[in-house]
Copies of this chain bind each other. A is one copy, B any other.
Amino acid sequence: MSRFLQIVSVPEAVSAAAGIPSGPAAEEIPSGTATGRVLCADVTGAGDIPGFDRSVVDGYAVRAKDTTGAGDSIPAMLECTGQVAMGRPDPGLSIAVGACAYIPTGGLLPVGADAVVMVEHTARTGETVLVKRPVSPGENVLMHDEDYPAGAVIFPAGHRLSPRDAGILAACGRTSVIVAKKPVVGIISTGNELVPAKETPGPGCVRDANAPMLAAYLDGYGCIPRTYGIVPDDREALDAALCRAAGECDMVLLSGGSSKDDRDMTAQVIAGRGDVLVHGIAISPGKPTIIGRIGNKPVFGLPGHPGSAYVVFRVIVVPVLDRMLGQKKSCTVTTKATLGTNVPSQKGREEYVRVRLENNVAYPLFGKAGLINTLVASDGLIRIPAGCEGLEAKSPVDVILW
């Protein structure tokens, strides 16, 4: 199995993995439950927005021409012939030459009027309104289709909906949206040394951290995690679990197999049910990662250490999830910082170093493989490109926030 020995670059790995799944399956869901979901179809407005010519201030609806040349010393004198009520249009209200009507913010501009004078620029005595500033046509008015004309694309397919988008969907009258179905992702933890979180590990054993971590991330990312428990380092048991998970899920994440023998067994089990595309990526941490497929279902063999598994998940697996969701733009948030100390790196591999951020200075957190305290203490990761032998203190860096 010579293909197992060739280490591929991170872009090659991402590209190999992203080519496995087919695009998203669509479903229609109520907009009220759609935050965090990815649109499968463009969202267009049901009609013009705001839908009517609308005042954006408290003031007087006027004919702009009637205010030409108005000033503090020679105000325009208009007759107030009515008042605009919110939400209840008055068919009898029409602004004639020399007339005006009081209009609150958000009110419907009455027939005849083409602008609004702010109340601060007027004085009123009885029904007489003195206008001290001229307005031009359209001033202080949001035209009926100025925000979005009917049929305009408000959100394109591939957009992940945010909480503020929930408000905009409501404003557009879209009470349901077509989104990508949540991919079901199977999670299998492997290793004789693993026990579930609720058990006290015996000598040489540790609790399984990867399954709960991956499940929490997937849940927040708009996927359905399905955990298959802990499988011992046994080929038949692993094959049975993989076979079941691949049948029930859209993607399978295996994690563990921290020794070389275990990793080789994982690769062989995947190869027995499908294909191994990649076994070994020029990434640190995470070099022994496996990428395989069973039909169009991606199967990943992630490292056993939680910190390493998390890096590979973010860098390699999430782009594949984005493809399965049809998401156009990565959710990864980065912030600019200055490096606090020198960071050496081995040329030829892309390195991800955990950093703690303090006043925009990124302090690398070094430590032995498998430490979780550096995972806890860090705010994100910096990426050192494969062609680079390290970064010097004070270099500008992009911190990929957790």
Contacts and interface: CB of A to CB of B under 8 A. Distances in A.
Interface residues of A, number: 97
A271 interface: no
Contacts of A306: 164, 167-168, 171
A363 interface: no
B369 A191 contact: no
A51 B194 CA distance: 13
Interface stretch (A18-26, A215-223, A274-282, A290-298): A215-223
A204 B260 contact: no
A86 B32 contact: no
5 contacts: A106-B193, A106-B370, A108-B203, A166-B216, A170-B197
A190 to B, nearest CB: 10
Given A56-B368, A170-B212, A155 B220 contact: no
A333 B333 contact: yes
Interface string A153-195: 0110000001111111111111100000000000000011110
Q: How many copies does the complex hold?
A: 2
Contacts of A32: 212, 215-216
Given A163-B216, A368-B146, A375-B164, A258 B105 contact: yes
A59 to B, nearest CB: 10
B175 A198 contact: yes
A174 B200 CA distance: 11
A209 interface: yes
B31 A88 contact: no
Contacts of A155: 376
Contacts of A148: 372-373
A115 B308 CA distance: 23
A87 B35 contact: no
A132 interface: no
A233 interface: yes
A56 B58 CA distance: 70
A163 B213 contact: yes
B171 A209 contact: yes
Interface of A: 31-32, 35-36, 46-47, 49-52, 54, 56-58, 84-89, 104-108, 119, 142, 146-148, 154-155, 162-175, 191-194, 197-217, 219-220, 233, 258-262, 304, 306, 310, 333-336, 360, 368-373, 375-376, 401-402
Contacts of A86: 191-193, 204, 233, 259, 262
A162 B373 contact: no
Given A106-B304, A216-B166, A370-B54, A173 B198 contact: yes
Given A85-B192, A173-B200, A154 B376 contact: yes
A36 to B, nearest CB: 7
Given A142-B371, A203-B89, A104 B258 contact: yes
